[in-house]
A and B are shown apart, each in its own frame.
Chain A
Amino acid sequence: MSAGRHDMGDRLHVVFEDRIAPWRRRLGAVLVWGGAAVMVAVFALLALGRFGLIALDVPNWRPALYAYLAWAVAFCTAQVLTRGERGKRALFILPAVLFVVAMVVFPLIFAVAIALSDWNLSSLSGPRFNGLDNFRQMLSDPFYWNAMRNMLWYTGMISVEYVIAFGLALILAGQIRARKFFRVAFLLPLMLSPVAVSWMVGKSMLEVRFGPVARLARELGWERPSFFGDPLIARLTIEAMDAWTYIPFMMIMLLAGLQAIPRELTEAAEVDGASAWRRFWEVTFPLMLPVSITAILIRIIFKLKLADIIINVTSGGPGGATDSVTSFIFREYRDRSNVGYGTLLALVYLVVIVVAITVFMKLVDRWMNPRY
C-alpha cells in the first residue's frame, strides 16, 4: 500500500494506489491470452470433430462452455493482477458483461456455423460444412428474391400508412367531439394479435360468399368479389390488414409529437397571416420530422418481420404474390426442416436489415442536418 494515498484529495474514490509489479502484468497477460488460446483450441477441435474433419467424438458442445468459463475466470483474475484496485472494481460488472457477451456471441457463432452447413433434419448424416453453397443457392432462389421484392413493396407502402397516421393524429390533436373515445377506438387494432386479425378479417370478413365485405362489394356492383385471387389485389389486401393493425402505432407516436409542439409557434404563424396549409407545412411538419423519422423507422422494423398474417391467410399465394421473406423462411425451416439454408436466409436478411436501416438513418441525418 502506498504511503502517498493519504495525500489524495478524493478519498471516497481512490482508496489506495497500486504499484503493479511487472511479474503481475506478465502473469495477467499469460492468463488472458493463454486462456483465450485454450478456449479457441477447444472450439476448433470441437468444430473439426463435429464436422467430421478429424476423428473426434463430440457428443455436445459442453467442453466449449467449460473452456469459456475457465477463460472468464482467468480474465477476471488477470484484471486484478494487472490493474490492482481498478481491476477489483471491474469485477463488479465483468461477470454480467461476460454473461451477456456469451448470450450474444455464442448463438451468433453457432448460427453462422449452421448457415455454412448443409443440414436437413431428415438427413441421416447430420450437418455437413458446405461453405458458401447455401449463399449461392440463395442467389438463384426465385422464391427468396420474389419475397424480397414483395418486402420492398410492403416497405414502400409505409409512406401511405404514414400519411394516414399523420392525418389521424392531426384530427385527434384537434378539438373534436369525443376525442378520448376516438383515441381509444383508433388504438384498438394495435391491441389485436395479427393472428386474430388474420382470422377475423382475412378469413371471415373477407370470405367471398358470406363475408360482410364481400356482400358490400356485391351491393356496390362488384359481381364476383375476390380479395385474394389477383396478385395485386391479394397484396393490397394483406397490406391493408397489416396497415390497419399498425397505423395506430404510428398515429400515437405522431400524436405525442404533435402535443409536444408549443402552441405559441402555430399561433404566431397564424397572427402573421399564414394559412392553415402553410402553418402545417412550414411549422408543424418540420417540427414533427424527428418524431416522424422515429415512427417510420420503427414501423419499417415491424414491417420487415411481417409474416403471421401472410402465413395464416394466403401462405404466400397466389403464386408467391404476397410472400414475405419471413414467411418464406418459416416454410423453408419449419415445413421443410432445411435448417442450414433457412438459417443462412435469416442471417442474410438480418444483415440486409441492419445495413438498410443504417443507410436510411445516415441519409435522414444528412437531410435533417446538412453540412455545408
Chain B
Amino acid sequence: MRREIYEAMMKAGKISRRNMLKGAAATGAVAAFSGVSTGVSVRPAWAAAHESLRAAILKIPGVGMGSPTDADWQKVGEMCMGPVKEVVAEGEFKGVELTFMGLNNQNLHNFLFRGFLKPWERYTGAKINWIDLAQADYNARLQQSIATGTVDFDILEMGAPFEGDVLGRGMASEMPGWVADIIDMDDYVDYLKAPVGTWNGKTHRVSIDGDCHTFAYRTDYFGPGSVTGRDVPKTWQEVNEITKALKGKTDPLTGLEAYGYLDPLKGWGGFGFYFIENRATAYVKKPGDPVWLFDPDTMKPLVNTPGWVQAIQDVMDLIAADVYPPDQINADPGTTAFQQFLAGTGSMLMWWGDVGSNARTSDTSVVGDVVGFGINPGSERYYDRATGQWVNEYNEAPNMAYIGWGIYVMATVDGDPKKKKAAWSAAAHLGGKDISLWASAYPSGFQPYRNSHFNYDEWEAAGYDRAFIEDYLGSNRDSYNHPNAAIEPRIPGIFQYYSVAEDELAKGFAGQYASAQETADAIAAAWEKITDQIGREQQLKLYRASLGL
C-alpha cells in the first residue's frame, strides 16, 4: 500500500479503538505463535497454516499501531521464509555476495527489502550490498548503466516499461522454474501475466506491484437533483458533455465555480502522456488486438490516426469552450490530483489507483465522503486500424499506466549457479504470495497486484473498514482484470516518446498548431525520429517481442 493512503486512513479514523486493541492482541498472539519475540527462529508449517499465516502477518505491527519499523519488516520476512526454506538449505549460499539496486524512498522500497531480506541473509548465509537511488536519479542511473555496460548490480528493482531496455538487450537472467512455482504467478491479475515480464517467451520478472489509472468522480455532482442531474459518465463523450454543461454552475461543496473533467495540459517528465492515453485507449484499443501505439509491421506511430486525433480534439474542444479552471495549461497531473481534485476543484479525474483513496481521507482533502471510483471511461465508437473505419460500438480499454515495479535478476549471475540460485531465491522471497499481501496492506510503495489481494475478508479481519477497502480496491481490480486492458509497449526509450509527445501536445494545446491532426502529426514525426535514432529494425523486433507477437 502506498504510505500516504495508510497514513490518511489512520488520520481519518478508519481504524477504531476496538480494532486497535484487536490489532495489539493479535500482535501478541503472533509473537507467541512465531517465537520471534524470544529470538527463536521458527518454520511455520506454511502450507497447512497458510491462512493463519496471512492473518498473522497482517497483524504486524497491527492496523492502527503506527507505521511499521525495521523490526516489523524483519518479522514479516522471517515468517514468510517458508517457501524459500523448501528449496534452499540453511547456509547454502555462504560466501555469496549480491548487489541490489533499487529506490531509497523513505521507509519504502529498499528500506522494506532490507528488512525482508535480513532473515533470508541469516538463513542462507548470503550477503547483500545495496545501491540506493533517489526516484529522480533512477532512470538516468539505469540508462547510463545499460548504455555504458557498467552493470554493477545483480538484482534490480525496475518498472516494466524499462523491460525493453534491459530484457531487450539480454541483460536479465531467465527465471528458473522453481521460482515460478514458489511465487504462484497464476495468482497475478490478468494484465501482469505474460507477455509482461517476459521476453521472447522467457520469463524474467517477479512482480511486486501493480499500476493502472482509475476514474475518480465527485458523487455530489451526479444523480437526480445534483448539479449535473446526470448519471456518472461512462464514455468520454459524456465526460465532455458534462464538463461543458457545468460552465457557470456552482460547486455544491465549495460554493466556487463548478468544473468537470480535469485534463492535465502540462508535461510531467513523460508521465503526463499517460493522461492523453486515458482518453485515446477507448478510441483506438480494440478487443483482441494488443496494438494501440505503433504499427507492429512498420513501427509507424499510430498517434496521428483518427482515434488518437479524436482524443486530442476532445481536449482542444474543452480548451476552446473555456471550461477548465484558470491556468489549466500549466497544470500537470500532480496539480490536477492534489491541488485541484482534492481541494474541491473539478468533479472528474483519472489517476493511479491510490489517489482516489487519498482524496477520500487525506487531511488536505475537502471532498471527504463525496468521492467515488470507477474504471477508465469508454467511448461510443472506436477506430479500427485494420479497416480504417470508425466502428459505432461501445468500447472501453483501461490504461495500465506504468504497469508496476518488479524484481529482476541480471544475467551477470548466470555464470555462477550458486550465485544465480541465491539471487533468484532473494527475488522470489520479495515477490512471495504472502509477503506481498503484507506489502499491499501496509506502507510499502506498492499496490495490490494479485487476485488473492482482493479477498476483502482478509482486510476486514485485519482491522480495515470493509466499505472503504472495497471502494478503494474495486476499481483497481476491475481495471487490472479487464479483457481489453491497454498495456504500454515495453520498448527501449518508451519515455522518450512520451516526453517529446508532451512537448508537442503543449504546443498544440497552446494553439501553436492549426489543428489536433497537425499536433498529432508533429508527435508522429518526432516519434519517427526517435525510432530511427534508436534503430527501427531493432525497435520493431523488440516491440513485437513485447507484444508477444
Contacts and interface: CB of A to CB of B under 8 A. Distances in A.
A binds B: yes
Nearest to B340: A209
B533 A120 contact: yes
A317 B330 contact: yes
B326 A229 contact: yes
Given A143-B503, A209-B343, A338-B496, A315 B332 contact: yes
Nearest to A202: B330
A336 to B, nearest CB: 4
Interface string A305-343: 000000001111111110000000001001111100000
Given A226-B327, A318-B510, A320-B506, A121 B146 contact: yes
Contact of B538 (A124, A210, A337): A124
A126 interface: yes
Contacts of A318: 266, 329-330, 506, 509-510
B492 A124 contact: yes
A227 B331 CA distance: 12
Interface residues of B, number: 45
B506 A120 contact: no
Nearest to A225: B326
A228 B269 CA distance: 19
A229 B267 CA distance: 14
A120 B534 contact: yes
Interface string A118-132: 101111111000000
B68 interface: no
B535 to A, nearest CB: 6
B326 A208 contact: yes
B509 A319 contact: yes
A208 B345 CA distance: 11
Nearest to B344: A209
A321 B503 CA distance: 12
A123 B140 CA distance: 14
Interface string B378-398: 000000000000000000000
B330 A331 contact: no
A314 B343 contact: no
B530 interface: yes
B412 interface: no
Given A124-B538, A210-B343, A319 B147 contact: no
B270 interface: yes
Nearest to B147: A121
B511 interface: yes
Given A121-B144, A123-B535, A331-B503, A337 B493 contact: yes
Q: Per DSSP, are chain B's interface residues mostly helix, strand or loop, or mixed?
A: helix
Nearest to B162: A122
A156 to B, nearest CB: 22
Contacts of B496: 120, 122, 335-338
B147 A126 contact: yes
A123 B265 CA distance: 30
- Which of B267, B268, B343 has the most CB atoms of chain A within a 10 A radius of its CB? B267
A259 to B, nearest CB: 42
Contacts of B256: 209
Contacts of A229: 326-330
Contacts of B506: 315-320
A203 B340 CA distance: 12
B325 interface: yes
A25 to B, nearest CB: 45
Nearest to A340: B533
Interface string A128-147: 00000000000000010000
B500 interface: yes
A224 interface: yes
Interface of A: 118, 120-126, 143, 203, 207-210, 224-229, 231, 234, 313-321, 331, 334-338
Given A209-B325, A319-B512, 6 more contacts: A120-B530, A229-B328, A317-B266, A320-B503, A334-B140, A335-B499
22 contacts: A120-B530, A122-B492, A123-B533, A123-B535, A124-B492, A124-B535, A125-B538, A225-B326, A315-B332, A315-B506, A316-B503, A316-B506, A317-B265, A317-B329, A318-B330, A319-B510, A319-B511, A320-B506, A335-B496, A336-B500, A337-B147, A337-B493
Nearest 7 A-B pairs (CB), nearest first?
Answer: A319-B510, A122-B493, A228-B330, A335-B499, A122-B492, A121-B147, A226-B326
